[in-house]
Amino acid sequence: MSTIRYKSVLEARSHKPLYFEDKEKKSQYFANKVFNTNAMRQFLPVEALNAVAEAISTGTKIDRKIAHSTAAAMKQWAISKGATHYTHWFQPLTGTTAEKHDAFFDIMPDGSAIEQFDGGQLVQQEPDASSFPHGGIRNTFEARGYTAWDPTSPAFILGSTLCIPTVFVSYTGEALDNKTPLLRALNILDEAATQVVQYFDKSVKKVNATLGWEQEYFLLDASLAASRPDISQAGRALLGHASAKGQQLDDHYFGSIPARVFQFMRELEYESILLGIPVKTRHNEVAPNQFELAPVFEEVNLAVDHNSLLMDVMEKVAEKHNLKVLFHEKPFAGVNGSGKHNNWSLATDTGTNLLSPGTTPTKNLQFLTFFINTIKAVHDHEELLRASVASAGNDYRLGASEAPPSIISVFIGKQLTQVLDELEKVTAGKLSPQEKTDLKLNVVGKIPEILQDNTDRNRTSPFAFTGNKFEFRAVGSTANCAKPMTVLNTIVANQLIQFKKEVDKLIDKKGLKKDEAIFNTLREYIKASKKIRFEGDGYSEAWQKEATKRKLSNNKTTPDAIKIQIAPETIKLYEKLGVMNATEINARQEIELEEYVKRLQIESRVLGDIARNHVIPTAIRYQNVLIKNVKGLKDIYQEDYKSLASEQMKLIEAISNHMSAINTGITAMINARKVANKLELNARAEDYTHTIKPYFETIRYHCDKLELLVEDKLWPLSKSRELLFFR
């Protein structure tokens, strides 16, 4: 019962040459470190295998006996792969992942040593979780939290540790993580969507939401990055004059990948493939040293786990190459920031993509049903969707003419716009046989399988239909996809439930045929959701004005954007669908706002420190050089020195002026912080946004001016051109 063991580069602490052979096919070592169905088949008794499979597809509970035999098999498999430790792997509300490693090794009462790992340890653990954010949940209720096995996401080995994906909840059942509400949302979506699919196809028993994320990131030389306290502490450059050459020549996008980066990517892909993350495309992005990695799409829960895992692996692999990954949404001014497009669709257990037009009128009516319901859901909850991507980092990116604006709108392309326009004209109530035939043949039947203008799609739209899926582009590169995915799947589930009710009512009360009832309901939705559709340039001024006219929300800052999350209608929605209760919602709000304030606070502190400890002393040093020069000229030329030293003297004055502006700015900023820090959370967030953050710009402006004036040799901080153009 042994399987081939591929060594992970992460097993060794120091950097070793690549273990893998390039000539080997990826399919050969794909998921080699994953306890998936294949591995289970080898290591699990049939009875347990079936029970776990059942739990994965229908969510049934796994009993004690099965848990024990699964744990035994998992341990045996993991040890055969070189694992020495295990951990419950979860996603606390910090947005990252957490793990606490325990050795399999244990000492028995008689003193003998064994490799211990049983069902109890697999199913449930009680990590000392007091330092994870809980937004007051564990203060008001119970002090403890526990992690519980999520069998729908397979266990994997990272380095030499067996990682078991788990949810993290309080003893009273409140979710303390990102995964729990997501699983609840996916469940309700499955229920709602399956019922709606039944109108078209009775053989469908389950609907899975699918997610294909595209991770953008920057890579820097780790040593250069280490010379920048802002980059190591805040994850982004808080100052630094833009380099003369940035992205204006458009020579980075899809350009050739630098050799050093290429090595990193190969190793990263190798690790990802071992972990079953189906990475597929890699390419340069728009900005210098910006890249993108995208996998083949997967079921949402697994895709979310894989994205979190990938971010973790990326940092580890980068370290081995003396590189530093920046996930921040806006690491450098003057060049594009990073996002994480979330491609989303719905797939049936029979293999149908519900957002893909088909070849028959019935399939197309099914497509239109899910397509229009999604648009209606986004229309009704656009503000909540905007809130789901709000963060201190993303505030710097959204609306900066490189990423979608803070206004949510939906792009569907010319062909589908025409189809919806036709459908809108359908007569209300019963349809004549002629109308029905017409509709089926000339409207619904005419939707081509490949939509022309969706390949040449509108890149400025935050929520674009791209042929067989929607692409949510406002998500930030640091985000845990669970948040936007929880919102999207919840609002679509809610919409589908409503749709089913309305259609059934038309059938039962008005005596309409099924198709008539569906057409009627869709027609109303098309009318009701028109204002969310926008095909034009989302980056333009004109759209900002038009969106205001349409009364679409346009929340530019995180504190404004997330207010909707605790609005009574939001709480009602989540409670009705069992996704989150009021306690969980309020706790999350507090955590998000706290994190937002803390991030700005760190940026403010770091900027103040660098400006005072690096920039000003360096400027003084250079000013002294100039003063010495002026004095020397005076010694030689006496009264004639003035004309000879005039430029130097202007520089001396300019340096003093910039230094003084920096100092005044920092003092005022610190004073503002002192005031803000005493306020209650909401007011504090407002203050950080509107009073403290604006100082960043002024302080930076003067620092960057000094960078241009001061002799290059003296400047202690790596400059943008060095950071962005390393080889």
Q: Would you tell me which residues interact with ligand ADP (CB under 6 A)?
A: 210-212, 214, 294, 296-297, 343-345, 353, 468-469
Q: How far is the CB of 654 from ligand ADP (least distance, A)?
A: 47
Are 228 and 237 in contact by the 8 Å Cβ rule? The answer is yes
Piece in contact with Mg ion (CB under 5 A), picked from 206-214, 238-246, 505-513, 629-637: 206-214
Rounded Cα–Cα distance for residues 83 and 68 (Å): 19
Q: How far is the CB of 36 from Mg ion (least distance, A)?
A: 28
Helix, strand, coil percentages (3-state) for the chain, rounded to 5, are 55, 15, 35
Q: How far is the CB of 212 from ligand ADP (least distance, A)?
A: 3
297 binds, among ligand ADP, Mg ion, none (CB under 5 to 8 A by kind): ligand ADP
Compare residues 471 and 584 and give the one whose CB is closer to Mg ion: 471
Compare residues 354 and 659 and give the one whose CB is closer to ligand ADP: 354
Q: How far is the CB of 214 from Mg ion (least distance, A)?
A: 5
Rounded Cα–Cα distance for residues 510 and 512 (Å): 6
Residues linked to residue 610 through DSSP beta bridges, in sequence order: none
Compare residues 469 and 523 and give the one whose CB is closer to ligand ADP: 469
Rounded Cα–Cα distance for residues 698 and 704 (Å): 10
Number of helices and strands (H, E) in the chain? Answer: 28, 17
Tokens of 499: 């749709």
9 binds, among ligand ADP, Mg ion, none (CB under 5 to 8 A by kind): none
Closest residue by Cα to residue 491 from 380, 599, 383, 594: 380
426 binds, among ligand ADP, Mg ion, none (CB under 5 to 8 A by kind): none
Q: How far is the CB of 196 from ligand ADP (least distance, A)?
A: 18
Compare residues 42 and 468 and give the one whose CB is closer to ligand ADP: 468
Rounded Cα–Cα distance for residues 488 and 345 (Å): 11
Q: How far is the CB of 188 from ligand ADP (least distance, A)?
A: 19
Compare residues 214 and 269 and give the one whose CB is closer to ligand ADP: 214
3-state SS record for 97-161: CECCCEECEEECCCCCEEECCCHHHHHEECCCCCCCCCCCHHHHCCCCEEEEECCCCCCEEECCE
Q: How far is the CB of 470 from ligand ADP (least distance, A)?
A: 9
237 binds, among Mg ion, ligand ADP, none (CB under 5 to 8 A by kind): none
Compare residues 214 and 230 and give the one whose CB is closer to Mg ion: 214
Site string for Mg ion, 388-407 (x = CB under 5 A): --------------------
Does residue number 341 form part of the binding site for Mg ion (CB under 5 A)?
A: yes
Compare residues 234 and 487 and give the one whose CB is closer to ligand ADP: 487
703 binds, among ligand ADP, Mg ion, none (CB under 5 to 8 A by kind): none
Compare residues 281 and 657 and give the one whose CB is closer to Mg ion: 281
Piece in contact with Mg ion (CB under 5 A), picked from 256-264, 336-344, 413-421, 661-669: 336-344
Q: How far is the CB of 556 from ligand ADP (least distance, A)?
A: 25
Rounded Cα–Cα distance for residues 533 and 604 (Å): 39
Q: How far is the CB of 696 from ligand ADP (least distance, A)?
A: 32
Tokens of 472: 């949510």
Compare residues 86 and 470 and give the one whose CB is closer to ligand ADP: 470
212 binds, among ligand ADP, Mg ion, none (CB under 5 to 8 A by kind): ligand ADP
Where do we find the tokens 């009128």?
361
Separation of first and last alpha carbons in the chain: 46
Rounded Cα–Cα distance for residues 364 and 439 (Å): 11
Rounded Cα–Cα distance for residues 516 and 439 (Å): 11
Tokens of 199: 């109108």
Residues linked to residue 353 through DSSP beta bridges, in sequence order: 347
Compare residues 228 and 341 and give the one whose CB is closer to Mg ion: 341
528 binds, among Mg ion, ligand ADP, none (CB under 5 to 8 A by kind): none
Are 547 and 409 in contact by the 8 Å Cβ rule? The answer is yes
By beta carbon distance, the residue nearest Mg ion is 341
Rounded Cα–Cα distance for residues 183 and 190 (Å): 10
Compare residues 158 and 294 and give the one whose CB is closer to ligand ADP: 294
- The backbone region for 159, taken as left when phi is positive above 0, alpha when psi lies in -120 to 50, beta otherwise, is left
Q: Which residues have CB under 8 Å from 344's CB, separation 6+?
A: 209, 210, 211, 300, 469, 470, 471, 472, 485, 488
Q: Which residues have CB under 8 Å from 506's CB, separation 6+?
A: 512, 516, 517, 520, 521
Q: Which of residues 209-228 bind Mg ion (CB under 5 A)?
A: 214
Are 301 and 183 in contact by the 8 Å Cβ rule? The answer is yes
Rounded Cα–Cα distance for residues 546 and 561 (Å): 19
By beta carbon distance, the residue nearest ligand ADP is 212
619 binds, among Mg ion, ligand ADP, none (CB under 5 to 8 A by kind): none
210 binds, among Mg ion, ligand ADP, none (CB under 5 to 8 A by kind): ligand ADP
Piece in contact with Mg ion (CB under 5 A), picked from 8-16, 122-130, 335-343, 576-584: 335-343
Residue type, 577: L
Q: How far is the CB of 294 from Mg ion (least distance, A)?
A: 8
Compare residues 341 and 719 and give the one whose CB is closer to Mg ion: 341
Site residues (CB under 5 A) for Mg ion? 214, 341
